[in-house]
Amino acid sequence: MGPVRTRFAPSPTGYLHIGGVRTALFNWLLTQRYGGQFILRIDDTDAERNRTEALQPILDGFKWLGINWDEGPEIGGNCGPYFQSQRQHLYDEAAKRLVASGHAYPCVVTADELRVDRETSEKAKKPYIHRGPRRDADPASNVALLAERRLPIRLKVPVGTTIVLDDLIRGHVEWKADDLGDPVILRADGRALYNFATVVDDAAMKITHIVRAAEHLSNTPLQLVAYAALGEPIPHFAHVPVVNEPNSKKKLSKRDMAKFLTSEIRDKLERIGWTKEQIAARDDLNPATVAFYKEMGYLPASLINYLARLGWSMDDHSEIIDIKTMVANFGLERVNSSSASFDPDKLYWVAGEYMKELPLSEKIAGCLPFLVRAGVLPDQPSPFQLEQLERIIVASGDRIKLFSDILQYGTPLISPVVSYDEKAVNKRLRKDGVAPVLAAFAEVMQTMEPFEPHALEAALQALSLERGTQPSLLIHALRVACTGIEVGPGVYDVLGILGRDESLRRIRSCPAFI
């Protein structure tokens, strides 16, 4: 395959959506494999629906993921994306060329007349297909008319023909031109319509492969007509299947994002330091957007891995694929033509696999901001606090799959105030015989040396044997007494991290003795 140029062209009508990122990733991987260029273009011609506040999260999301675009206008010393709103003159010039060549014409039918025609077709249960009265007029007269009046311009769709596409994912697709009306490509005020602007831009940018969501397949026949009318080579098209909601065959849509912000998700966001007001003000703090995964502490490489595998496979068994291997093996021929459902649990597993391989220093650096934001640690932790954090991360092991997981396992050990889970207390501390065993073990802990996990384990086993109790009775009781919860690092690590004095303070003041 020769040089490849692809583009991703989001509209800033909403935040960076998971399905959109997957499409952008496929474009980026294709260019990376074949040494091409990946272009980011913001399709912001829909002024009524554009949201200024949605643009920066789109750019930030790509930078966080490492999906970098290769060219664009210089903005503040950096390579910025292209904006369709800044390219209007190109669409105007192209439309006028099509009128002069007889491939387009001015629309003289009024909006009211179009509405009546459409309603008549609907009543007759016939598809509405509009072809204007100036369609077959002499091109020179159409040019002269546009010089006198500002009118919409329609593209002339050839009648009696079949429009054909050999899609790289969906295969052979055909449309009958007679089923298509002549679309407006330029409004009377000069603004270009999507199907025309995207063709003009893709041709000007010499895009070789258009990899986009399957929902755009319906736009393709009119775009193919526009390419032919402009005399431009037609790129390769590949329409990737949509991403569905978890356990559903319904598309994961940014229009339905509100329902994904469940009470459970709100609780997670509040635990990492977001207020109710901040959550309400941020549409992108939602599992359907990229920003959510950044805020929750996912490693970007894990999200890249998961999204690439959501519809593409390298072989019949590989799940964890590093980016270099992915680039070396990516191809559209192994992209599925059927949709796939987004699976948060699978993504969480993938995130854990990547976290396992992260160097300890990077885990500490990634976990620390979450503890600071939640107020568990100060902005400038002491050497002791940093050492304690390191020990907690090592003791937590594979339990930490996201950086934000440190709050669950670290907070009970770092915070001096123990927050007791009532269910855990009733189950582990208020059982008959627990208080005497805890008190006895506290006496052992008072003088034992060295105060470290192996010695603590040996002492607990010996005391349990002496008293004829199961070691698990004391293990569970110690964990709840010292942390308030039933899950976390091993209990001997917990005691070692807390140290002798803090462990004894927590044990002797726990609900078992109240």
Catalytic position from the list 156, 251, 254, 401: 254
CB 467 within 8 A of CB 437: yes
Q: 3-state SS of 88-134?
A: HHHHHHHHHHHHHCCCEEECCCCHHHHHHHHHHHHHCCCCCCCCCCC
Which is nearest to 196 in space by CA: 10, 20, 45?
Answer: 45
Dihedral over alpha carbons 401, 407, 412, 418 (to 10 degrees):
-150
Number of Cβ within 10 Å of residue 301's Cβ equals 17
The answer to whether the bond into 450 is cis (omega within 30° of 0) is: yes
Sign of torsion over alpha carbons 89, 92, 95, 101: negative
CB 39 within 8 A of CB 82: yes
How many Å from the N-terminal Cα to the C-terminal Cα in the chain? 75
Q: Which amino acid, one-letter code, is at 86?
A: Q
254 is known as an active-site residue? yes
Classify residue 69 as exposed, middle or buried by CB count within 10 Å of its CB (0-12, 13-18, 19+): buried
Show which residues are catalytic.
254
